[in-house]
A and B are shown apart, each in its own frame.
Chain A
Amino acid sequence: MSRYSAMFERLSGEGAFGAFLMLGDPDLESSAALLDAVIEGGADMIEVGIPFSDPVADGSVIQAAAQRALSAGVRVADCLELIASLRRRNSQVPIGILTYANIVLARPGFIRDSAEAGADSLLIADVPALEAQPFVREMEQAGIEPVLIAAANTPDETLKRIANLSKAYTYCVSRAGITGTHAAGQFDAELIDRVKQAGAPPPIFGFGISKPEHVRAALDSGAKGVICGSAIVNLVSRRQDVASFVQSLKAVTRNDSMAE
């Protein structure tokens, strides 16, 4: 069973809390410690960004994180090693990579290397379902699960394609635009219903999750979990405690399932 399936089974209805960190932000050593901190705070799944110079799907917070990592001289090989060492420390937690197509293309064997490092899934922010086929084929061969994005304006036909192509979970964006805490999500239950109806992997809401009420709203919409990115990365940039923040948002997923 994949680590994602095992996680959903273990949670049995409790919402999954995904914590996003940019690998190498602000430097390699701190980055390894931050990965441990979000797990200590109770994150059920870890999403890691591999920094790219031109992240068009990201708002200012995550752009700055990528820039910090690149300025610190962090290379793709370093990021894969961070993943591998996290995997050595923790054999259970699902690790998903979020990056951009040019990073995947530039390194021959990137997908295989990611799988070998112990990553469970790969989301390429600028590869929509329309262009996903060749990437997905390579991921299947390497044994890493493809994740695709669904948004409120994604037609049912595309959701069907996502159902056919992807595994792990479906990254549902809670609102239009880019990552960031500048605007809260809409947590549209209709999108979640359509994703489920299309038979796509479990829907998880991302974008604009920074407060307990966002987590609650996301789970109330029927999503199986949330991914919190910019709010955590913001704390990293201010060198503030991420573990207790993750703990406070993760707590909502437990209360929420008890209320049901």
Chain B
Amino acid sequence: MRLNGRFGRFGGCYVPEILVPALEQLEAAFLDAQDDPEFIAELNRLLANYAGRPTPLTRCRNLAGNIYLKREDLLHGGAHKTNQVLGQGLLAKRMEKTRLIAETGAGQHGVATAIVGALLGFETVIYMGAEDVERQKLNVFRMQLMGAEVVPVTSGGQTLKDAINEALRDWSASFPTTHYLLGTAAGPHPFPTMVREFQRVIGREARTQIIEQLARLPDAVIACVGGGSNAIGLFADFIDDPVRLIGVEAAGKGLDSDDHGATLLRGTPGILHGAETYVLQDSDGQVTDTWSVSAGLDYPAVGPEHAHLKDSGRAQYVGATDAEALFAFKALAEKEGIICAFESAHALAHALKLAAEEPEIAILVGLSGRGDKDVAQAQALLGAGLVDEIQAKALLA
């Protein structure tokens, strides 16, 4: 490896020996491509003319405080995922791979991978937990419509982490022809670094845009953290600025319950899916099941750079519960006419709290995706009264 792939004590490349050459090849291709003006130009053309960059920065008109939304929900594909699948897709071409594999939870990354598979002409196979296949039929059909094969994974808990396991297993036999298009800034080196660089465009644009609109930097930058890709992409260009960086994890049914996905807040250091990072696990090191209303935050590990940003104190990590996220989802729809992804609603939920505490500060929120995928679930949950009226009043006051 040319880079050390560490973020403080975290990160690394914990994979079976057989995959090390594949990761070395990927690192080399990535580093060479970064120095290749033609690669950069082609990626930028796709980001602009195919995916719709730059995405707008929208100041909320009606929600309290000074909240600015970085609108990744308006990107082709409906989430920030498209930024990095285009990057990795071009790299896979560069490495002359003919097949893409990917994992997906709710199906967002699967859809994004299917998009790039169709666009750039790859055979595409998506591993998806059998339970998720059942729950996300529409996204399964979207992937199939774009020519991808969806393979239900029946091992383990049949959710995202099991889909990653299965993709890694496929890759350990198929790497000569196949690129594993990992969906977030987690996993073995070079994925965390590479995905951050492909997502950096979010923060780079947002920084310029907010300076244009506000004539200064924001006071706080907030993003939701599942594996950590939209958050690290938003944070990256603000790391050296005097701004608060806040990652919001899924607090599910509460941080003190067993049903959450708050890896950084409740996990302990461990090694999962190729990286040393925080992991939700029992005292034997068995990885535990997670819960979040948003499938994209329902993951028992987290990108190693976030683990480092937490331990170094440069970023702060907090939780938002299912109910808080759902409340924010509803508030954004009612007040601003934007239906966001449940994942993004976690970031917004914390922004609303912060705006209530410190009304004068400027808050930049990564609105990582649109909520079309979540409306059916929202209808059921809101009907069931998950959003508490008192809480609603407190937050909207």
Query: Which residues of chain B from 274 to 302 have any CB-CB distance to chain A below 8 Å in the complex?
Result: 274, 276, 279, 281, 283-287
Judge whether A103 and B173 touch: CB under 8 Å. Answer: no
- Selected contact of A129 from candidates B17, B276, B285, CB within 8 Å: B17
Task: Please name the residue on chain B nearest to A183 by beta carbon.
Answer: B173
Interface of A is mostly: loop
> A54 to chain B: which residues have CB within 8 Å?
156, 161-162, 165, 272-273, 287
- Interface size band for B: 35 or more
Is B377 interfacial (CB 8 A cutoff)?
no
Is B262 interfacial (CB 8 A cutoff)?
no
Cα(A145)–Cα(B321), bound, Å = 47
- Selected contact of A59 from candidates B14, B17, B169, B283, CB within 8 Å: B169
A-B CB contacts (within 8 Å), total count = 112
Bitwise interface map of B from 1 to 39 toward A, beta carbon under 8 Å scored 1, else 0: 100000000001111111111000000000000000000
Is B152 interfacial (CB 8 A cutoff)?
no
Judge whether A154 and B284 touch: CB under 8 Å. Answer: no
- Selected contact of B272 from candidates A70, A102, A129, CB within 8 Å: A102
Cα(A59)–Cα(B172), bound, Å = 11
Given contacts A56-B168, A76-B285, A102-B285, contact A173 B155 (CB under 8 A): no
Cα(A176)–Cα(B372), bound, Å = 41
> A103 to chain B: which residues have CB within 8 Å?
284-285
Is B57 interfacial (CB 8 A cutoff)?
no
- Selected contact of A149 from candidates B16, B269, B276, CB within 8 Å: B16
Give the contact stretch, choosing among A30-38, A39-47, A120-128, A232-240. Answer: A120-128
Bitwise interface map of A from 163 to 189 toward B, beta carbon under 8 Å scored 1, else 0: 000000000010111100000000000
Judge whether B21 and A52 touch: CB under 8 Å. Answer: no
- Selected contact of B12 from candidates A53, A107, A131, A148, CB within 8 Å: A131
> B269 to chain A: which residues have CB within 8 Å?
105
Task: Please name the residue on chain A nearest to B161 by beta carbon.
Answer: A54
> B285 to chain A: which residues have CB within 8 Å?
52, 76, 102-107
Is B271 interfacial (CB 8 A cutoff)?
yes
B interface residue numbers (CB < 8 A to A): 1, 12-21, 155-156, 161-162, 165, 168-169, 172-173, 175, 269-274, 276, 279, 281, 283-287
- Interchain Cβ contacts under 8 Å between A and B, 26 examples: A54-B161, A54-B273, A54-B287, A56-B168, A56-B169, A56-B172, A58-B169, A59-B169, A63-B156, A75-B284, A76-B284, A102-B287, A103-B284, A105-B271, A106-B283, A106-B284, A126-B14, A126-B15, A130-B13, A130-B20, A131-B14, A153-B21, A155-B21, A176-B172, A176-B173, A178-B172
